[in-house]
Structure 1
């Protein structure tokens, strides 16, 4: 599982010499973007199930947090396919088209909002990298708080988040104004990030379907991960 993001990103990079195929691969409504949507759709299904399960277990604070994340991921999923605009073909309102870089009914392509997307993805990616490593190093002191495990991705997902974080740091620190080929490679990195998110949600749903998390429960997550 840890190798899947590397394989996907290497495969996309290997198509760069074949420019037309590469640009088709990372273009709007093509293979990589639809894989992104499927990952977000999976997370959109897993997250409300996790939230409901947490409520049934009486973990209201964690359920509230997951509920907010659910709303955010639902919104992101809709944005990823322009809320179905390119599927159903409705026109963009004039006011929206005037401020939207792609002339679509989306928020993330509005001038001013676009600049916030890369930092937000960098923060999310760095969390997915750092949280598991910190938990592995010092998490023993919090193991009595079993629900805390729901906030920490398993170590096998670190590569998925690491690739996305590495790309964003490269763009920020090394090459802030790259050429079109490199800028479009962001689609492969977003796929890596969304895949990490979807698998994280899937792991947590499996964890919650094990005997209920209780204070003092030990190594429940480790058992789940070992089986997978």
Structure 2
């Protein structure tokens, strides 16, 4: 039996030791081991949100028509989001069932909540099937919905709540991996947190939405730039959806990988037993 230890495995490491191991090459190498992927794929994972963000900015600056195609209702960004949330929902259900079978009831219950959240997100992106089946929005509902569709996030007065929730989700995926690594007080909760904390290489998938939503919730945008700025949220929501999907892929394929018992990623300790 061989044990391999990751960047976060030694909970007794001093802060200086941790800092010495936090060079970018070390982080990339450790991430490749934890994800069981070649280095170039880890680089691709890290660079993907930056590439999407840059593409969105470039389209907004170069071509209004191309930008609309990418960010409009039923456009490229929304379609990929919907697919990502549906796949993530399936993975989350599988994870929930496995956790219940392993008698890990608390994380399983948390995943039940995640399943409901992903079902809601997928439903909202698809207007709960309205676009697929083409049903008419009731007149009373159309009057209170900005786009006259059967969803909740476009109801007048409700959208602001969703914007703050997006910021909270972005903060969760940004700061929890960092907090979990740096705070030894969380060590005793690692068995729980290993299932619900995104890996630190996924931080870019959350931090952009957090920063954007913080800015949009606190500051008004000049009217002349409103369209470009408002629609840019679709770009960041796409990045978030991919981050959630990758989080579930990582947790499902590595956290409950048969033949291995592991404490994953930024959860402060990963000791993998190869049987």
Alignment match, 2:182: 137
Alignment match, 2:207: 162
Taking the aligned partners of 1:30 and 1:193, their CA distance within structure 2 comes to: 17
Alignment match, 2:48: 4
Alignment match, 2:58: 14
* TM-score, length basis structure 2: 0.74
- Mark the CA change 1:18 to 1:67 in structure 2 (over 3 Å): closer, same or farther: same
Does structure 1 conserve the Cα–Cα contact (< 8 Å) formed by 2:180 and 2:186? no
Structure 1 stretches lacking a partner, 5+ long: 224-228
* TM-score, length basis structure 1: 0.89
Is residue 270 of structure 2 the alignment partner of residue 219 of structure 1? yes
Taking the aligned partners of 2:64 and 2:193, their CA distance within structure 1 comes to: 46
Taking the aligned partners of 1:76 and 1:86, their CA distance within structure 2 comes to: 15
Structure 2 stretches lacking a partner, 5+ long: 1-44, 264-268
Is residue 100 of structure 2 the alignment partner of residue 55 of structure 1? yes
Taking the aligned partners of 1:193 and 1:66, their CA distance within structure 2 comes to: 18
Which range is displaced more, 182-191 or 193-202?
Answer: 193-202
Taking the aligned partners of 2:262 and 2:231, their CA distance within structure 1 comes to: 42
CA drift of 1:213 comes to 5.9
Taking the aligned partners of 2:131 and 2:98, their CA distance within structure 1 comes to: 35
CA drift of 1:107 comes to 1.4
CA drift of 1:209 comes to 2.2
Is residue 197 of structure 2 the alignment partner of residue 152 of structure 1? yes
Alignment match, 1:80: 125
Which range is displaced more, 109-118 or 3-12?
Answer: 109-118
Alignment of 1:16-55 (within 5 A): 16=60, 17-55=62-100
Structure 2 residue aligned with 1:208, among 256, 260, 269?
256
Taking the aligned partners of 1:176 and 1:133, their CA distance within structure 2 comes to: 31
- Mark the CA change 1:52 to 1:89 in structure 2 (over 3 Å): closer, same or farther: same
Alignment of 1:63-74 (within 5 A): 63-74=108-119
Alignment match, 1:95: 140
User: C-alpha offsets along residues 91-149 of structure 1, whole Å, 9 cap, x if unaligned?
Assistant: 11122112111111111111222121110000000010000011121258516742321
- Mark the CA change 1:72 to 1:141 in structure 2 (over 3 Å): closer, same or farther: closer
- Mark the CA change 1:111 to 1:21 in structure 2 (over 3 Å): closer, same or farther: same
User: C-alpha offsets along residues 193-217 of structure 1, whole Å, 9 cap, x if unaligned?
Assistant: 1111111111111111243569xxx
Does structure 2 conserve the Cα–Cα contact (< 8 Å) formed by 1:26 and 1:184? yes
Taking the aligned partners of 1:129 and 1:92, their CA distance within structure 2 comes to: 37
